[in-house]
Amino acid sequence: MPDETEQRLLEAAGRVFADFGFKAATVRKILEEAGIKNIAAVNYYFGDKERLYEATLRFAFQCGLSQMPNPQWPAGYSPECKLREYIRLLAQHMLNQKHPWQMQLLLREFAQPSEAGAGVVRDFILPLNRLLWSILHEAIGPDVDERKLHLIGFSIIGQIFHQKIGAPVIRLVVGENEHDGYTAEVLAEHVADFSLKALGLTAPKEVHS
């Protein structure tokens, strides 16, 4: 089956690239991970290693990340609820990812965008920010400096990203025991509480706790 091997190649490449980075990931390791004995498969299907990487990036984007929120809320939905839900969606999407390598790969490009990934990352990050900005705009009011709006957005996203990117170190700092309790739901609720209060918004659903 022709395209089946190509698919396995992409998934295996995703895992290996995510684990080791572009340079440290070897073609032979990817092939072994994919269970393919044909050493020339990468060059046969993708030309060379670099184009395999680009394809893997695009694959990770289409497969797991373009399905992100873009939720359609009913008219009259309060901005507070929208914001809380946005945070919950983002946290769940980043932390409960079924295929962890997809997010790992994107985070690699996030910290050090390669030429290949700059466009892809921007296509993923920018809409995420635009949506958040529109919510914030609605929540705070129209008379806010645009730069302030951006900074608030980064403050919110930064809290979530930090929990994802820094997870290994955070685990060391608080101990495995406590860190196991850092589920997406717990983190989302904390970030939402923290951020909503920072914006001076009444926090809905704060009955419990």
Partner DNA sequence: CTTGACATAAAACATCCGTTTGCTACTATT
Partner DNA sequence: AATAGTAGCAAACGGATGTTTTATGTCAAG
Q: Of residues 47, 71, 158, 204, which one binds its own copies by CB under 8 A? A: 158
Q: CA separation (Å) from 13 to 5, 30, 134, 167?
A: 12, 5, 36, 23
Does the footprint of its own copies cover residue 129 (CB under 8 A)? yes
Q: Is 92 left (phi over 0), alpha (psi -120 to 50) or beta?
A: alpha
Q: Which of 52, 80, 48 is nearest to 200 (CA)?
A: 80
CA distance 180 to 81: 27
CB of 45 or CB of 182, closer to its own copies:
182
Least distance to its own copies, CB of residue 112, Å: 7
Q: CA separation (Å) from 63 to 21, 186, 196?
A: 20, 26, 32
CB of 49 or CB of 58, closer to DNA:
49
Does the footprint of its own copies cover residue 163 (CB under 8 A)? yes
Q: What is the dihedral of CA 129, 183, 59, 65, to 10 degrees?
A: -30
Site for its own copies in 166-205 (CB under 8 A): 166, 168-170, 172-174, 178, 181, 187, 190-191, 194-195, 197-200
Does the footprint of its own copies cover residue 165 (CB under 8 A)? yes
**Residues engaged in binding its own copies (CB under 8 A):** 20-24, 107, 110-113, 118, 121-122, 125-126, 129, 147-148, 150-152, 154-155, 157-163, 165-166, 168-170, 172-174, 178, 181, 187, 190-191, 194-195, 197-200
